[in-house]
Amino acid sequence: MTPAKIFYTGRPGVGKSTIVRRVKELIEDMGCRVGGIIAPEVRGSDGKRIGFKIVDIMSGEEGWLAKVGYPGPRLGKYGIVTSDVLRIGVGALEKAKGDADVIVIDEIGPMELLVPQLRSAIIAVLKLNKPTIGVIHRRLRSRDPYIYRIIEQSSQIIEVTLENRERLLEEAGEIAAKLCGKGSNQGR
C-alpha cells in the first residue's frame, strides 16, 4: 500500500506548523523515527520577526534559513543564508530519506525554493515512497507548479482555516497513526 503523504496549506499564522509539529511529536511517541526539517520563525527582543531558523529534526542541529538584511539571495527583507540551508536543510533531508520512518518538511515555500539544492532535495523526498507530512505555501501552485503537481498527485492536501484548526489539532493522533503505520493499514 502507498504510504500516506499529507500536506497542510492556508493563510499565514493560521496554525499549519503547529498541527505538523503536534503530529510529529505523536509519531515520535509511537516509536517511529522522524526526520526532515522545520523552519521556526525567530523574533527579536522587541517582538518583531528577524528571520527563520532551519532545524534538522533528527540531530537537532540548527542554523539560519533567512535573516533580515542578510546579504544572500533575497526574498523581501530577508536574505537566505545559503551555507546553513545547504549544510543543515539538504543534509537533514538526505539523512531522512534513508533513516526516518516519516519525513517532515515544514515548509515548502518561497524561501526554501530559492536554494536550488534544497529544492532538489525536496523533490527527491516528494518522489520517495515514504510517509511524509508538511506545510506548503498557499501560493505554491503558481510559484512552483512542478512541485505542486508532484504533491497534488501523491498527497492529501488539507487547508487549515480559523474554523477547522482546532478540529485538525484534535485529529493529530489519527494522522500520526496513519503516517507511522500504527492502528491503520499503512505499512512502514
Helix axes 116-127, 91-99, angle to 10 degrees: 10
Q: What is the pLDDT of residues 150-165, one digit of tens each?
A: 999 999 999 999 999 9
Can you give the pLDDT at residue 1? 53
Q: What is the pLDDT of residues 70-79, one digit of tens each?
A: 998 999 999 9
Is 188 a residue whose pLDDT tops 50? no
| List of E strands, the chain | 5-10, 34-38, 41-43, 49-56, 62-68, 74-75, 78-80, 102-108, 132-136, 156-160
**For the chain, counts of helices (H) and of strands (E):** 9, 10
Output the nine-digit C-alpha cell for 64. 539560519
Q: What is the pLDDT of residues 116-141, one digit of tens each?
A: 999 999 999 999 999 999 999 999 99
Phi-psi region of 117 (alpha: psi -120 to 50; beta: other; left: phi over 0): alpha
User: What's the CA gap between 146 and 90, in Å, rounded?
Assistant: 19
Q: Identify residue 5 by its one-letter amino acid code.
A: K
User: What's the CA gap between 92 and 120, in Å, rounded?
Assistant: 13
Q: In the chain, what are the domains?
A: 5-180 (3.40.50.300)
CB proximity list for 22: less than 8 A, separation 6 or greater: 169, 172
Note whether 188 and 181 are within 8 A (CB): yes
